[in-house]
Structure 1
Amino acid sequence: MDPNALTLFVEIVDAGNLSEAARRLKMTRANVSYRLNQFERDIGQQLLRRTTRRIEPTEIGQQLYQHGVAIRNELLAASESVTTLGQTLQGRVRLSVPTGYGQYVMTAWLLEFKRLYPGIVLDVVFENRVADLLQGEVDIAVRVMSEPPPNLVARDMGPVRYVACASAGYVREHGTPSELKELRSLPLITSAVIGRRLRVAGYIGTERHEVLLEPTVVSENFIFLRSSILAGLGVGIVPDYVTREDVRRGDVVTIFDEWRLSIFGNHMYMLYMPNLHHTKAAATLIEFILQRARQSERESAARAAGA
């Protein structure tokens, strides 16, 4: 069996269609198609089912794909080991992080990582979409969600805790709401998901209450949301890390502390594609972030216990 043809087959399956495979491999579509047909003739089996839009492996194709992925990853790892022998850790890692968590929590981690590994190029995107990961534009994505997509590898980075909060000046002037349903009529500051009605769920004991929200300040930029809260423009519903230092200083007051709030998702996950060979640089960054996330969760638990 020609290992180069097997590698080509793996790339075609990963790409999902011949045109995308040709783009990734910097070949013509006709050349990719010819080499695939030649590989199927050599094997004596149909390996792919072709539709007008996508290709899918047959049963024998799927088995061959799994073997091919393992062989490709081992070859890449061996090549990298030889290339980097005796050198400092190098490479490029494309990382996508949430706008809020990335700015308020992960920035310090990434700066520390870069100081430890100056030879690694960090290409960091601040956004909240998963699509770029699926399209191969980033290696790793960190996202807030309730359940990770089943087609991705998801590493647990811990819970996300939301708070309702307002500036001390706003509270002095307007007081604080006593019931969760009052959030419906208050000037509200939060993020939103395009095309979805915004709801906050509150849990206290075994009770669950849900309130439909009509925010007056909406943005995916959490620095702007924090500034709006500090300016006294209303009540914010944001992850606790956005205003943690402001609460500590007394500039912001939290509301409904007895409630556990959920609005967009209650967990942080690190996501990446299955069967993807991670360079040493990417693997090192993954473990570094997970270690910092576990440390951050321990510190959060200690703060909660001491409150």
Structure 2
Amino acid sequence: MDLNSLSLLVEILEAGNLSEAARRLKMTRANVSYHLNQFERSLGLQLVRRTTRRVEPTEAGLRLYEHGRAIRNELLAAQESVATLGSTLQGRVRLSVPSGYGQLVMSEWLLEFKRQHPGIVLDVMFENRVEDLMRDEVDIAVRVMSEPPQNLVARDMGAVRYVACASRAYADEHGMPVELDDLRTAPLITAAVVGRQLRVAAYLDDERHEVLLEPTLISENFLFLRQAVLAGIGVGIVPDYVVMDDLRRGEVVTALDAWRLSIYGTRMVMLYMPNRHHTRAAGAFIEFILEQARRAGR
């Protein structure tokens, strides 16, 4: 079996379509298609099913992909182990982090990691949606969720605690929610998923309640939500790290403190593809960030 053809199959399936595979391999789409067809003919098997937008592996294609990926990863590990003998860590780590947590909590961790490993290139995206890591060429993603996707490795980074909060000036003038149902009528500031009703899950001891929310201000940018809370626009329902410094200074106050609130999930998790070869740079980054999260949670 031709290892180059096997490697081509891996690249095609990880890219998701022939055009993207061609871009990554710096080949023409026609050339990629030709070599794939030749590989299928040599085996006498169909390896992928083509649609207008994507390619999907057949059972035979999936088995070959798994073997091909393992072989590629071992080769990459061998190359890296030789290339980095006696040298400092080098390489690129592409990661996706939530806008608020990434900027308000992780930014100092990322800068410290860079100080310790100047040879590693960090390519950081601030976004909140869970996308296809393989398709988007993301090595590592950090997200808030309760149940991580089963097809990804999930490493726990600690609990996420939401708070109902407002500026002290707003609280003095309008008062704060006293009962959970008060959230139904309060001018709320929070994040929301497009096309999905926004609900907050609230836990009191072993009791679980759910309240449908109708925010007056919605954004996926948590720094903007923090500004809105400080400006006295309304009552924010945000993770506590968004307003932690403001709470310490007394500029923001909280309500419904007996309740444990959750909108998108209760845990911060690090996600990455299973069985993907991790460079020494990526491995060092993963362990560094997990250690920072452990310290922050103490």
TM-score normalised according to structure 1 size: 0.89
Distance 2:244 2:153 in 1: 30
Q: Is the 8 A contact 2:16 2:56 kept in 1?
A: yes
State the one-letter code of the partner of 1:77.
A
How many aligned positions are there? 298
Q: Is the 8 A contact 2:161 2:240 kept in 1?
A: yes
Is residue 2:35 matched to residue 1:35? yes
Could you tell which deviates more after superposition, 236-245 or 33-42?
A: 33-42
Is residue 2:172 matched to residue 1:177? no
Task: Give, in angstroms, the shift of residue 233 of structure 1.
Answer: 2.3
Distance 2:217 2:60 in 1: 54
Match of 2:93 in 1: 93
SS in structure 2 at match of 1:89: coil
Map residues 93-242 of structure 1 onto 2, 5 A cutoff: 93-131=93-131, 133-242=133-242
SS in structure 2 at match of 1:131: coil
SS in structure 1 at match of 2:270: strand
Match of 1:262 in 2: 262
State the one-letter code of the partner of 1:147.
E
Distance 1:75 1:127 in 2: 32
SS in structure 2 at match of 1:186: coil
Match of 1:11 in 2: 11
Match of 2:247 in 1: 247
Distance 1:156 1:231 in 2: 34
Specify whether residues 213 and 56 from structure 1 end up closer, same or farther in structure 2 by C-alpha distance, changes over 3 A only: closer
SS in structure 1 at match of 2:133: helix
Task: Give, in angstroms, the shift of residue 237 of structure 1.
Answer: 0.7
Distance 2:3 2:24 in 1: 18
TM-score normalised according to structure 2 size: 0.92
Distance 1:123 1:48 in 2: 32
Match of 1:303 in 2: none
State the one-letter code of the partner of 2:276.
L
Task: Give, in angstroms, the shift of residue 175 of structure 1.
Answer: 2.6
Task: Give, in angstroms, the shift of residue 209 of structure 1.
Answer: 2.1
- Structure 2 runs not aligned, ≥5 long: none
Distance 1:98 1:53 in 2: 28
Distance 1:48 1:226 in 2: 48
Q: Is the 8 A contact 2:15 2:134 kept in 1?
A: no
State the one-letter code of the partner of 1:199.
R
Pairwise CA RMSD? 1.9
State the one-letter code of the partner of 1:59.
E
Distance 1:53 1:113 in 2: 39
- C-alpha offsets along residues 62-115 of structure 1, whole Å, 9 cap, x if unaligned? 222211111100101111122222221111211111011011110111011011
SS in structure 1 at match of 2:285: helix
State the one-letter code of the partner of 1:26.
K
Match of 2:71 in 1: 71
Task: Give, in angstroms, the shift of residue 164 of structure 1.
Answer: 0.7
Identity between Structure 1 and Structure 2 (%): 73
Could you tell which deviates more after superposition, 286-295 or 15-24?
A: 15-24
